[in-house]
Homo-oligomer: A and B are copies of this chain.
Amino acid sequence: MKTLLVGRWQPFHKGHLELVKAEAGKGDVIIAICSANRSHSLTNLFTAGERYEMITGALDEGGVGAEIVTIPDTGNHALWVELVRRTCPKFERVVSGNEFVRYLFSERGFEVGEPKFFEKEKYNGTKIRKLMADGGNWKEMVPKGVAKVVERVGRDRLRLAQRDSFSKNE
């Protein structure tokens, strides 16, 4: 059985890596990078390519393998599951922390599950992006391979995440 992990991974953090490890212990795993066309905004800070590179770095570090697929938004919820199904290798089960995503896939007959997040309070995308914007210690929240990409992307991208001008362009 192959499992699709659905998320935006903004950024991919240590909690995500634990999730992949747990799922990879049960079978094959595909990681879907959603909202692939979104970047440079308060909640979608990194491009699809930057996130892809973060994830391969993190997986190498964690000694775990997965297929990675990028999925842009469709502007039509009723077509989105079909786009995912047609862009990914064949999968049977979907894991997502988002109840809405789980509903969309279950409506099309997929088996769905909730992720068991590792230290959910600590490893949390919104919280990590806030640390990034404020110059806080975000580095200990993410695998080293992720930190390397974030540092190449640079301070200016992170700093903008706290600005009005930025959120208005969300």
B68 engages A67 (CB within 8 Å): yes
Interface of A with B (CB < 8 Å)?
A: 36-41, 47-49, 52-53, 56, 67-70, 72, 75-79, 82-83, 85-90, 98-100, 103-104, 106-107, 152, 156-157, 160, 163, 165-166, 168-169
Oligomeric state, in number of copies? 6
Q: Which residues of B contact A47 (CB under 8 A)?
A: 78, 86-87
Q: Complex Cα distance A157/B104, Å?
A: 9
B56 engages A100 (CB within 8 Å): no
- Can you report 11 residue pairs joining A to B where beta carbons are below 8 Å apart? A37-B76, A39-B77, A40-B104, A49-B69, A52-B67, A76-B86, A78-B82, A98-B169, A99-B160, A100-B160, A103-B157
